[in-house]
Amino acid sequence: MLYSDKVMDHFANPRNVGEIADADGVGEVGNAKCGDIMKMFLKIKDGKIEDVKFKTFGCGAAIATSSIATEMIKGKPIEEALKLTNKAVIEALDGLPPAKIHCSVLAEQAIKAAFADYYTKKGIDPEPFVGKIETDCHACDTH
Amino acid sequence: MKRFVYADNAATTKISPAVFDAMVPYLTEQYGNPSSIYSIGRDARKAIEIARQKVAAAIGAEPTEIYFTGCGTESDNWALKSTAELMGQKGKNQIITTNFEHHAVLHTCEHLKRQGFEIIYLPVDSEGYVTAEQVKNAITEKTAMVSVMYANNEIGTIQPISEIGQVCRDAGVLFHTDAVQAVGHVEIDVKAQNIDMLSLSGHKIHAPKGVGALFVRKGVRMVNFIDGGAQERNRRGGTENLASIVGLGVAMEMAAAGIAERMEKIRQKRDRLIDGILSAVPKTRLNGGRERRLAGNVNISFEAVEGEALLLRLDMMGICGSSGSACTSGSLDPSHVLMAIGLPHEIAHGSLRLSINEETTDADIDYILECVPRVIETLRAMSPIWNN
């Protein structure tokens, strides 16, 4: 498995690891059977991502995609953070091996799941904002 | 301080200096084609036959029963496909094997299944063993052959090969064993153990990559594996991998010498490694039985940790190991071996195999025991499924 220097950097020194006790939104995707679970914690203030933390059970790419995804949305307005795509995550990491693309999808979905929780807590239907959340990556189903 | 500790000898080994020295002349001055008539050709032929004698002697075989191949996988392919073809002609279309063989055997069986063979996969128990009784009960008049690995490559469990050999001989069924992981680690005597075919590989025993051998008992019929020249008694054409074959001969001679003493020393280090990890790290388990186990094999699962991340972290500390996680197996499922002994997916994902050898020092063991708990702690601290 050939990882870029960026992936290795984020794996070796992951940013924003941890939990937020009074998070405004928490999302978890993936499952232990597949070997990947990502959990995202959001703190929102004045329409911006004031803080974001993650916890990930998974391979090097799973940890690196979670790490860089948190870095990409931290401090950003909600609207911008919601636009984060797995493609942008891949680009920011200077690429991922084909077998690891699903990790970037999980990172995008984990953030969206956290936003869904945020909207739901506020009594707002999250679907118009985050679309349908894939809590499983489904990579396992295609094989 | 960062060290370099190679603990993946079940994956491959370093070429030993004696093997290397023996090979060099055949890569430089003595480059003759073993099929040529002039002196450097004849010298090459002699070197190959000496290597054949050494390989044979190491497993209690006759030199004429040894065929050199390109790797252990080739030996497995040859043994299974050849026997299947010849036995299939007699209406015997059933192959008995286990569910935790190496892919060299499993995928060859899948190929044969597509050709119409029935494959019986004997289940191993939770400790990673099959019994001769299971083999005996599975044999029918349709059985073409039995293929059971000598020792498992992931969890190191050593199978009751002599007993299985006896059962097969009594039933008149051909018995092949993939001994790639066992050669040099356990005493092998193909005659006494009633083994009809045995696969072995050079690079697991300090010979180079790209050379292996297949033992075929005298009297067992074989189909040519590569049609071509008269090499390997017409059975496997192609100019011989001269230097590597010479290297394999030396490596086999060394691997078969003083096995008991060598393994006892390795076993002591291995046990210190197993006990050290199990006592230092909670929620861990040793995969595979401890008693009939390769002396250098450690395979431990850590809850709430994924194997590839573990390997990458250990690599950052200079430690080389392997894992049965999906991410390292190249597929989305974790190791079929760990699934065969009944591990749930999530535990199988968090496995670590360390395979030490005679060069592993006490300081290496200390270093691994210092690093593994730290790495597990780091990964568990960021794992959402770790509750402590």
Mean pLDDT across chain B, nearest whole number?
96
| The token pair that represents B189 in the structure block | 């005597």
With a threshold of 0.90, does the pTM exceed it? yes
CB contact under 8 A, A60 and B382: no
Cα separation values, A142 from A102, B77, B346, Å: 11, 29, 19
Do B309 and A63 count as a contact with CB atoms less than 8 A apart? yes
Residues B200-244 have pLDDT tens digits of 999 999 999 999 999 999 999 999 999 999 999 999 999 999 999
pLDDT tens, B355-380? 999 999 999 999 999 999 999 999 99
Contact B309 A39 (CB under 8 A): no
Q: In chain B, where does DSSP find H-type helix?
A: 17-27, 39-59, 72-88, 103-114, 132-138, 161-171, 242-256, 259-280, 307-316, 326-329, 336-340, 345-348, 362-381
Strands B297-302 and B284-286: antiparallel
What is the predicted pLDDT for the residue at A142? 41
A26–B contact, CB cutoff 8 A: no
Residue written as token pair 């286990």 = B98
Q: Provide the 3-class DSSP secondary structure of residue B92.
A: coil
pLDDT digits (tens, 9 = 90+) for B14-43: 999 999 999 999 999 999 999 999 999 999
In chain A, what are the helix, strand and coil shares in percent, each to the nearest 5? 45, 20, 35
CA dist B286 and B284 (Å) reads 7
Q: Which residues of B touch A28 (CB under 8 A)?
A: 384
Residue A141 has what pLDDT? Answer: 47
SS3 B345: helix
Sheet with strand B351-355: strands edge to edge:
B284-286, B297-302, B351-355
Residue of chain B with shortest Cα separation from A28: B384
> How far is it, in rounded angstroms, from Cα B345 to Cα A6?
29
Neighbouring CB atoms inside 10 A of B160's CB total 17
* CA A23 to the chain's CA centroid: 15
Strand partners, B322: B353
Q: pLDDT over 70 for what percent of chain B?
A: 98
Interfacial residues of B (vs A; Cβ cutoff 8 Å): 304-309, 312, 316, 325-328, 330-332, 334, 345-346, 349, 381-386
Block residue for tokens 């430690």: B319
Q: What is the tens place of the pLDDT at every residue in B57-102?
A: 999 999 999 999 999 999 999 999 999 999 999 999 999 999 999 9
Q: Is A17 on the interface with B (CB under 8 A)?
A: yes
Query: Given this model, what pLDDT does residue A34 score?
Result: 82
Say how far apart CA B386 and CA A10 lie, in whole Å. 21
DSSP state of A115: H
Cα dist from B138 to B102, B143, B150, B166, whole Å = 20, 9, 19, 14
Residue whose pair of structure tokens reads 């279309």 in the numeric block: B93
Distance CA B273, CA B98 (A): 29
ipTM above 0.90, yes or no: yes
Closest CA to B215 of B254, B169, B172, B179: B179
Per-residue pLDDT averaged across B167-176, rounded? Answer: 98
The minimum CA-CA distance between A32 and chain B, rounded to whole Å, is 5
What is the rounded distance in angstroms from the CA atom of residue A73 to the CA atom of residue B128?
A: 47
Distance from CA of A39 to the nearest CA of B (A): 7
Q: What residues in A contact B316, CB-CB < 8 Å?
A: 12
Task: Give yes or no for residue A11 having a pLDDT over 80.
Answer: yes
Helix (H, G, I), strand (E, B) or coil at B185: coil
Q: What is the DSSP pairing of strand B143-147 with strand B174-178?
A: parallel
Q: Phi/psi zone of residue B356: left (φ > 0), alpha (ψ -120 to 50 degrees), beta?
A: beta
Tell me the sheet residues that pair with A42: A25, A52
C-alpha span between B384 and B305 (Å, rounded): 10
Q: Give B317-351 pLDDT, tens digit per residue.
A: 999 999 988 776 666 678 999 999 999 988 999 99
Taking residues B115-125, what's their average pLDDT?
98
What is the C-alpha end-to-end distance of chain A, expressed in Å?
19
- Identify the bridge partners of residue A28 per DSSP, sorted by sequence position: A39
Place of tokens 């919601």: A82
Contact B384 A14 (CB under 8 A): no
Burial of B88 (0-12, 13-18, 19+ CB in 10 A): middle
pLDDT of residue B332: 67
pLDDT of res. B346:
86
Those residues whose C-beta lies under 8 Å from the C-beta of residue B130, and which sit 6 or more positions away, are B98, B122, B123, B124, B148, B159, B160, B164
In percent, how much of chain B has pLDDT > 90? 96
- The number of beta carbons lying within 10 Å of the beta carbon of residue B385 is 17
Query: Terminus-to-terminus CA distance in chain B, angstroms?
Result: 29
Question: What does the mean pLDDT of chain A come to?
Answer: 92
